[in-house]
Amino acid sequence: MSWDFSTDPEFQEQLDWMQDFVRREIWPLETIWRDLGGYEGLREALAPLQEQVRERNLWAAHLPPELGGQGMGQVRLGLMHEILGTSPIAPLAFGNAAPDSGNSEILALAGTPEQRERWLYPLLAGDLKSAFSMTEPHTAGSDPTQLQTRAVRDGDEWVIDGRKWFSSNGSIADFLIVMAVTDPDARPKQRASMFVVPRDTPGVEVLRDVPTMEHPWEQFGAYGGHAEISYNSVRVPAEALLGGVGEGFVIAQQRLGPGRIHHCMRWLGVARRAFDMMCERVTYRHAHGSLLADKETVQNWVADSAAEMQAARLMTLHAAWVMDTQGARAAAVDISLIKFYGAKVLHDVVDRALQVHGSLGYSTDMPLEQMYRFARGARFYDGPDEVHRQTVARRILAGYAPPPGEVPSEHLPTRREQARERFAHLLGALTAND
Ligand SMILES: Cc1cc2nc3c(=O)[nH]c(=O)nc-3n(C[C@H](O)[C@H](O)[C@H](O)COP(=O)(O)OP(=O)(O)OC[C@H]3O[C@@H](n4cnc5c(N)ncnc54)[C@H](O)[C@@H]3O)c2cc1C
């Protein structure tokens, strides 16, 4: 029987190194990275750190070795992402920041040798940036079968027309992976295909980076921006198609499963950092005759947060293990479970940490208000909570059927009647002994 919660010592050593490296080298950069002169400045600051990561064989760990990665599997990757999640810029130092990591997985899965050569390897080397352009302002992102962006074949080319938004990093990307409808009459999940579109292709118009709750200020061309993009008769060659015509959804699903595990583990990294701030604060803040640490409500928050983070962590690592051992399809329900549960745990832990800091927590003197704004988006990107709950509930309910005569299976009078019949000999013997 194998039921093992330990990490092998060799990999634990790597994790310990990462933990120390991220805290020592990357956390200090967080406070100034926006002043470094945009993405290029940040890249320069991270370059020597990336070198150290490569030397430790931890670069681009999400891809198999033949594609320049470490091929670690989802459980190990998950444990890595828990550490990387503690800082918004740590994944960049390790060559697996979203959306480049997911896009490199798409290229690895569906790219031809030529597409890999031109896009994947430079992306992995950190020489190119990418974006994933699927969500549209006027159709429901949670139901991408409604996509309106069209790609029409014209001779040796495809012509793309449509409008997208929230294409993360779209304004700094060298290329965009665009999801567009190629056959509107096909079955819903076979209507769309994916294309690699260089950002400088005529007709690609990056309109703005949409200011958001996380970044409420106007910006353009910054790392982490969410671009609104108009595709106006954008012509790309036939070779721009990724995978087959109509395979967009299949490819997207393969990309999203592992991505959700990484998100959930990164959220745990954020939650843990907020939790540490909460615990530190309550050890010295004094009010109404005692430390905050001595108030029952605060003790409940500490204990509940610890329990919820532990639950989310075990659920996520279990989903990763199912994916590693049985494949993405088998892990579908586990992944939906962690997606909405993990987002809630992140939100609640950050909220409590912010609360115990009072005005200080609400101020920009602490990272908590930023974490809180970040946490809110987690409830709907990569699929809103409601959709994941629906997936889970449908799968679970598919295992149930109405009972005969619509009498509940556990109806006590009915069960008693059945038991009396089955055990009549025992009951009869008792009566005889009376
Ligand atoms: C930080 C961030 C980064 C993003 N990055 C990218 C990116 O790189 N590329 C990209 O293409 N997109 C990206 N997105 C967009 C994201 O994927 C979409 O916002 C998401 O898919 C939801 O789509 P929508 O916003 O159109 O909401 P809608 O689809 O309009 O849904 C709105 C709400 O409707 C409700 N709802 C929907 N379906 C159901 C249901 N079945 N049952 C009950 N209620 C339901 C939910 O409450 C949901 O939140 C990003 C978004 C954020 C916030």
pLDDT of the chain, 434 residues: tens digit per residue: 788 899 999 999 999 999 999 999 999 999 998 888 878 888 899 999 999 999 999 998 888 777 767 778 899 999 999 999 999 999 999 998 989 989 998 999 899 999 999 999 999 888 999 999 999 999 999 999 999 999 999 999 999 999 999 999 999 999 999 999 999 999 999 999 999 999 999 999 999 999 999 888 888 888 889 999 999 999 999 999 999 999 999 999 888 888 899 999 999 999 999 999 999 999 999 999 999 999 999 999 999 999 999 999 999 999 999 999 998 889 999 999 999 999 999 999 999 999 999 999 999 999 999 999 999 999 999 899 999 999 999 999 999 999 999 999 999 999 999 999 999 999 988 776 66
pLDDT of residue 160: 98
pLDDT of residue 428: 87
Beta-strand ranges (E) seen in 115-220 are 130-133, 150-154, 157-168, 175-181, 192-198, 204-209
Judge residue 207's burial from the number of C-beta atoms within 10 Å of its C-beta, 0-12 exposed, 13-18 middle, 19 or more buried.
middle
Question: Which residue's alpha carbon is nearest to atom 40 within ligand 1?
Answer: 387
Q: What is the dihedral of CA 157, 249, 122, 231, to 10 degrees?
A: 50
The H or E element spanning position 233 is strand 226-237
> What sign has the CA pseudo-torsion 78, 266, 385, 387?
negative
pLDDT of residue 270: 98
pLDDT of residue 113: 95
Atom of ligand 1 nearest to the CA of 136: 26
Question: Which residue's alpha carbon is nearest to atom 52 within ligand 1?
Answer: 381
Distance 37 CA to ligand 1 centre (A): 31
pLDDT of residue 1: 74
pLDDT of residue 173: 97
Q: Which two tokens stand for residue 396?
A: 């679970």
Question: Which residue's alpha carbon is nearest to atom 2 within ligand 1?
Answer: 381
User: How far is the C-alpha of 261 from the C-alpha of 167, rounded, in Å?
Assistant: 20
Question: Which residue's alpha carbon is nearest to atom 4 within ligand 1?
Answer: 166
Tell me the whole-structure pTM to 2 decimals.
Answer: 0.93
Question: Which residue's alpha carbon is nearest to atom 53 within ligand 1?
Answer: 377
Please indicate whether residue 145, judged by its CB atom, sits closer than 6 Å to ligand 1.
no
pLDDT of residue 67: 74
- DSSP at 118: I
The residue type found at 220 is F
User: How far is the C-alpha of 63 from the C-alpha of 176, rounded, in Å?
Assistant: 20
Beta-strand ranges (E) seen in 321-413 are none
Atom of ligand 1 nearest to the CA of 99: 8
Atom of ligand 1 nearest to the CA of 98: 8
Please indicate whether residue 377, judged by its CB atom, sits closer than 6 Å to ligand 1.
yes
User: How far is the C-alpha of 223 from the C-alpha of 124, rounded, in Å?
Assistant: 17
Residues in the chain, overall count: 434
